Structure 1
Amino acid sequence: MAALVTFLISLPLGLAYTLMSMQLPRTGGDYVWISRKLSPKLSVPVAVAMTFNMPTYFALTSYFWSSSFEQILLVMFKIDGLGQIPSLGAVATYLVAAIPFMFLVAINVRRPSAVSRLNTYLSIIACFAVAYGTLVLYLKGVSPLSHSFASTFSLVPRLNGQPGFSGTLEAVPLLSAFSFIWVFAGPAVAAEARDRKALKLNVLLSQLLTLALIGVPFYLMKGPVSSSLFYTGLYNFWTLAMYAAGPGAGWILAIGLIAWEILELSMGILVFSRYILAMALDRLLPELLGQINSRGSPVPAHLLDLLLTLSFLSVPLVSSVGVLALYDFLPLSLVYMGLVAIAATKFSGKAVKFAGALSLPLLSYLGWAVIMSPYLGLRGNLLWINLVYLVSLLGLGVSIYLRARVKCKKIGVQLDRIYREVPPS
């Protein structure tokens, strides 16, 4: 139900992204749209803040990947009869999280032409793993597997959160933040699409696939037993499916989970570099960040991404509340998406205007849900961390915008005039 609600909330924004991407397919996607359709004095600083906020998301994803890796080893060693694995220490956790990210950055720098193929293969492997895991759980039955899983790993069933529809709504911000938020990924690289017809299907097909890949497995796992085990930390779709598949075959699902995590990071690296590249070409960021090597890779942008992500990745390891503090990216993301929705109302065509207008109240609801969520660390003792972080990001955006205006003025260029022109595709 939460996946369905989140899908319906994100659908108008996905439609707006599709129509804007077809009208204006440019590197940087929504950054180009809001900077050209809205006042750059407002939109550009927020776009800068949002872009430099993305490494926080990558760090959080990498951190969860290291947790998933530990769960994979724990479950597979147990069912393969290899014994108990020791818990990963702080250094090992950091390395497990950082090495895949470093590897992906290296691929983007050395072989950018191979990134699209890599993402395609990872997508196929990941989707196959979800389908295989769903089939295994359906054939063997979730309820008896859950009892056996809890007994094998000595899990104590317990309930947490609100029952009924209020509990459903609590899950909506999490799904919107980590699953349905990727509406901007395809449009950000729309200028590189080999076939313009793909722009018609990219976002909406992604939303439908996301709904199916989340909704079907969770629907299969519904019931009081699953509900009481989800909060134990080890029990989830992937660990139960690995357990159901058994020795040997469980590694197929383990590889599928790894493919998902790497795919998400790979897409993030690609998109971040395009935002930085677009901003550098607009003279907003230093010219160095707009440089491309002989292989067509924006190397300085990738290195900046690597530096920021590895720095943020140390936060949850240094502080016990650090992982919750990293959720601070959510409010800024919603503000940014709100600007995109407003920009949609400035495009030509009734459909895109309507989609943008309809997105605004839905995004407002998501903002309220994020603030009220008991899971996202945006309330209570972490409030001051949230405020300092968000104000710092917005301050960075304003300072970069003002610096660029001053620098451009010295050479006789008005920065705001640049935003009256649409960059070439």
Structure 2
Amino acid sequence: MGEVPSIFVRRSSGLVREVYPKDSFIYNVYFTAYFTALVFVYLIALYVVPAEALVPGLILSTFLFAFQVLVYSLMSIAMPRSGGDYVIISRALHPLLGFISSWNWFIWLAFWFAFGGYTFSSVALSTMFLTLGLVTGNQSLVSIGDMLAEPIPALIVGTLIMLAFLAMTSFGLGKFIKIQLITFIIGFIGILIGAIYLALCDPRTYAETLNRLISQYTGTSDSYNAIINAAKGLGWGPERVYSYTAEHLIKVLPAAYLAIPWTMGTVFIAGEVSQPKRAQLVGGIGGLAFIGGLTVILAFLLEKAMGIEFFSAFSYLFYNPPQDLSIPIQPYFNTLAFLIIENPFLNIWANLGFIFLGWMYMAQNLLNDSRLLFAWSFDRLIPEKFAEVSERFKSPIYALLTVFIIAEIFLFAIIFVPELQVISSIMALSFSVIIMSLAAIFFPYRKRDLFERSGINWKVAGIPLISLLGLASLIVNLISNYYWITDPNYGAVNDISVTAMLLVIVVGILIYLFGIYRLKRKGIEPSKIYTELPPV
């Protein structure tokens, strides 16, 4: 009779701890896909609540999202292993829930890696050339911007940028961290350039600039007021700007969910994080404060510079496009902000800031998905090949390549099946957060010994703090889900999104059951795997 294999693939993960607190902060900021998502945060929020509720609603949302971020940060401190919520939930709650939650993350991170490739061309580069062409009066640049939004250029550019990120992450996490720091510095300076221009601008100056730049396209010398009047003709009015209620502040939460609460990317690479307690808290809560604070500041500056009524009216036209007014730009916050930067050099730098803080998340998605494959493989749930780590680069090359191939398939689908572009994964990701919140609630009671040794064994009135945070995170996510389900204006629920979410879950269950079957065929009792943490 053959020898029963060991529980785990090997006695050491082979991964190296080379992510420090400052690296964790930038990694988590990038993981939010910040500027890519922020475009829609403002558009959705301004469509569902009066514009005056935007800034205070974003402040409230940032504070409420702290519960979710703390849950992920503290649970990763208790179980500092690469593999995201898979390792945590499978040990704290149940292996099936751990795999389903992490499989859900895996698919949607791969999808958003591909979506990033598509929008890198159709949004990032396209709007950069468009705004640069408008401020310089160069029609050729405007034409290039339009061309980059076409399917074939988007496929070519998307594939190239995805290959670039594959190469960037394959040479090891340590080398990527250095690239990450350089791009963040460049990007942050770009943000400052845009913020300063907005701070120095007022509605009158903005209107004059806008009218000068786009009048040849709109056919009117007063495009600023033409946009407001077009919105009025389609049902927009003062009630969409003024007089908000307490519920309006809460209704900003589901919109803000797109960008703000995701500063927990280092949970997926926790086994490669040095000084985990400090790094996870600095990266998680520090990243949340940065993202939330910047979102509030930019919203305030945009309203101040453009005029709150114009900001609201133009955003309204995104969902109700006028038939009798041709507008060459979309009401994306970056386009609206960069139009007033008429110095070409500074305009390009500001656009680079938008690109780096909007699309560097693609690297995090690739890295984090590879660590999920690694963790499943290390537990022998999927073939052991995915747990192999390059001796030279200390990186799971096969896992990275697999994620790239899956994402490339998604890229083709997104571009040539336009219906997929309306998929909303926000409820799907919230599903995983809800499971993680439940794991946090029950962790101290189901794994008492591990909890007491974890370094997060704090209690409030005899109740574990992590359980209270898990409950608060659960409530915040249920509130968001309530509004997504009951208010179609959020765009979170449509037939294709619900079908995709359910299909991902069903496929995940089947893969898990097959993995358990494989383990038993090899003579390994699955329960033995999930009673202990994988080796460091």
1:265 aligns with 2:374: no
| 1:359 partner amino acid | S
Q: Aligned-pair RMSD on alpha carbons?
A: 2.3
| 2:514 partner amino acid | R
**1:239 match:** 335
TM-score by length of 1: 0.91
Partner deviation per Cα, 1:119-144 (whole Å, 9 max, x = no partner): 12222222222222111111133552
- Structure 1: how far apart are the matches of 2:428 and 2:504? 9
SS at structure 2 position matched to 1:423: coil
Partner deviation per Cα, 1:199-244 (whole Å, 9 max, x = no partner): 2311000100001221101111121122222345523432233222
Partner deviation per Cα, 1:385-418 (whole Å, 9 max, x = no partner): 2333222211221111111111111111012321
1:214 aligns with 2:295: yes
**2:80 match:** 25
1:79 aligns with 2:140: no
1:353 aligns with 2:467: yes
Superposed, which structure 2 residues align to 1:120-131 within 5 Å?
120-131=181-192
**2:27 match:** none
Question: Which deviates the most, 393-402 or 223-232?
Answer: 223-232
SS at structure 2 position matched to 1:321: helix
- Structure 1: how far apart are the matches of 2:187 and 2:476? 30
Is this contact kept in 1: 2:87–2:98, CA < 8 A? no
Q: Which has the larger radius of gyration?
A: 2
- Structure 2: how far apart are the matches of 1:340 and 1:183? 15
Is this contact kept in 2: 1:26–1:423, CA < 8 A? yes
Question: Which deviates the most, 183-192 or 214-223?
Answer: 183-192
| 2:139 partner amino acid | G
Identity %: 19
Partner deviation per Cα, 1:169-200 (whole Å, 9 max, x = no partner): 555334312x2242330222222123332223
Is this contact kept in 1: 2:187–2:353, CA < 8 A? yes
Superposed, which structure 2 residues align to 1:308-387 within 5 Å?
308-325=406-423, 327=424, 329-345=425-441, 346-347=443-444, 348=451, 349=457, 350-374=464-488, 377-379=491-493, 382-383=494-495, 385-387=496-498
Distance 1:146 1:331, change over 3 A: same
1:40 aligns with 2:91: no
| 2:515 partner amino acid | A
| 1:308 partner amino acid | I
1:62 aligns with 2:123: no
- Structure 2: how far apart are the matches of 1:312 and 1:75? 29
Distance 1:143 1:114, change over 3 A: farther
Partner deviation per Cα, 1:289-319 (whole Å, 9 max, x = no partner): 1112221121121112112222222333223
SS at structure 2 position matched to 1:245: coil
| 1:371 partner amino acid | I
- Structure 1: how far apart are the matches of 2:271 and 2:204? 48
- Structure 1: how far apart are the matches of 2:331 and 2:517? 55
- Structure 1: how far apart are the matches of 2:330 and 2:211? 10
Q: Which runs of 5+ in 2 are unaligned?
A: 1-54, 319-328, 445-450, 452-456, 458-463
Distance 1:172 1:102, change over 3 A: farther
Is this contact kept in 2: 1:293–1:299, CA < 8 A? yes
